[in-house]
């Protein structure tokens, strides 16, 4: 796991930054729910600068293999029809993915 995380170190975002951006995962900032869990909107600094982001907080239903596969897959692809993966957080029991925010 450490070797995997090392190769994506440039995408790692601290949990305290994500917690601050979502106002401690406040439901007022929740913009949806999916198979991965709740999705929150917030403003956050990441490897490409600072912008509005969508933050997927792992719920129940997907585990570590799915989380790692999503990081691996989306970090290698860039296309105008794909939402960009901007970063992730894997601290303690938290597995969080951070995407470029796209309204609607």
Q: Round the average pLDDT of the chain to a whole number and report it.
A: 88
For 70, the domain range is 2-100
- Residue 23 sits in a domain whose CATH number is 3.30.200.20
pLDDT at 21 over 90: yes
69 is in an annotated binding site: no
- Total structural domains within the chain: 1
Question: Tens of pLDDT along 67-98?
Answer: 888 899 888 877 777 888 999 999 888 899 99
76 burial via Cβ count (<10 Å: 0-12, 13-18, 19+): exposed
């Amino acid at each position: 796991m450490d070797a995997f995380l090392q190769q994506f170190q440039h995408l790692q975002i601290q949990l305290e930054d994500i917690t601050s951006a979502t106002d401690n995962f406040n439901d007022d900032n929740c913009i949806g729910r999916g198979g991965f869990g709740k999705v929150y909107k917030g403003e956050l600094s990441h490897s490409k600068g600072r912008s509005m982001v969508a933050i997927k907080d792992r719920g129940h239903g997907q585990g570590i293999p799915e989380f790692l596969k999503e990081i691996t897959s989306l970090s290698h692809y860039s296309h105008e029809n794909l939402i960009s993966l901007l970063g992730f957080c894997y601290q303690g029991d938290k597995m969080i993915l951070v995407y470029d925010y796209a309204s609607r």
